[in-house]
Structure 1
């Protein structure tokens, strides 16, 4: 089947591929943080399709939906030559949190929710990024009010390395146009009105007209809806 993309998307795709090639060439070792969302599956396909020297990893928080684990397996089968490493939270930290605060304490306060994210996401992320020069994400500007000021290339002070957002200017429609054109595997929850997918107890379907991030931590205000993975980033000066 012939792959047909709009001229605008073709231009964005070419730019994204050029940036990824630059990351692989100039910032080795580099890794891609694959959350198995639609955007991240586009980047997984690009890295695998073009055999780019960028490692790929996922964070298994221990609370992911069954559909995410199914996609994890499908991804391994669809890209047999591309290895996706999986990082888990430290068992003793999870045990302490659950025993002291409760299995679903994250519903009780922002502090408790962020503590859970810190244990299940931030600490494993730090291990995944250790010794790396750069990391790549699938963040897009239109996803959230917390992401409108992001840059394509940023300095991640917390992790001490450069961060790249190659899909920053892509629209949701363009992400899905690529997925359909190249038959990229994706999470079945997307077909059930889950545009943004995280941990199962912190993710719900959204109604027509709601913001794409409305299903994440829906009990909190929009300006608080980040887990900390993408906080405190400063843009690099342009050369």
Structure 2
């Protein structure tokens, strides 16, 4: 019987070059967030609690910027992710706004299609995402002057054209990606330097974390988003939040 065990992704250790580059990147991030807060007070930062979003949260709270920080509890989160919601609020002393799905819609979907419907087709998976993520986000952004994300260009092919500021045509508001040009090594260097609270799943081979049924660990050398909706083609691997 083979004893081979695959090696899984590990948090990258910061190099000296990463640490040297960090102050300039961090200063640029501070400037971008200050600009957003000045132009759009009470703009909404939609945090997925990923390391990218924790970096932005750390910066917003350190600078005491007038930006709302919200997150979505889809009802399908890993326990480790759910635990980070409370940890983040306690660490930074903030009222982290948590939005949840419409319970009746979530129950009706599973009653009609089953709890494993997301594996049956892209259409059903996206309908699940709409109920558990997009509709709650729409409520969170109702009346917001602008919103922010933690997306980065190098995360996936579908995000390669990201810019700092864009227009959310569907909602008619500005949308910002303040770390769009950061690399993975930059994110982890910041997290280590500033002792940012992190999801415990990062230590279990999960470089990208979503809902529990739709996320798995990633083998060493795989794309960092390979564990998200792994049964689908790479071209469909978005939930629709950023469409």
Q: Per the shorter chain, which TM-score range?
A: over 0.9
Give 1:38 shift: 0.4
Q: TM-score, normalised by structure 1?
A: 0.93
How many residues align? The count is: 227
2:235 corresponds to: 223
1:175-198: CA deviation from partner (whole Å, max 9, x where unpaired): 111111111100010111101000
1:88 corresponds to: 100
1-structure distance, mates of 2:171, 2:214: 25
- Determine if the alignment matches structure 1 residue 12 to structure 2 residue 14: no
Give 1:159 shift: 1.9
Aligned partner of residue 41 in structure 2, secondary structure? coil
1:143-200: CA deviation from partner (whole Å, max 9, x where unpaired): 0110001111010112221110011111111111111111110001011110100000
Give 1:20 shift: 0.4
Structure 1, unmatched stretches of 5+, are 232-239
Q: CA RMSD of the aligned region, Å?
A: 1.1
2-structure distance, mates of 1:105, 1:7: 47
1:38 corresponds to: 51
Give 1:8 shift: 2.5
Task: For 1:188-227, list aligned pairs within 5 A.
Answer: 188-227=200-239
Contact 1:28 1:132 in 2 (8 A): no
1-structure distance, mates of 2:87, 2:32: 27
Task: For 1:129-208, list aligned pairs within 5 A.
Answer: 129-208=141-220
Q: TM-score, normalised by structure 2?
A: 0.91
Give 1:9 shift: 2.1
2-structure distance, mates of 1:89, 1:19: 31
1-structure distance, mates of 2:36, 2:139: 20
2-structure distance, mates of 1:217, 1:52: 35
2:84 corresponds to: 71
Structure 2, unmatched stretches of 5+, are 1-15
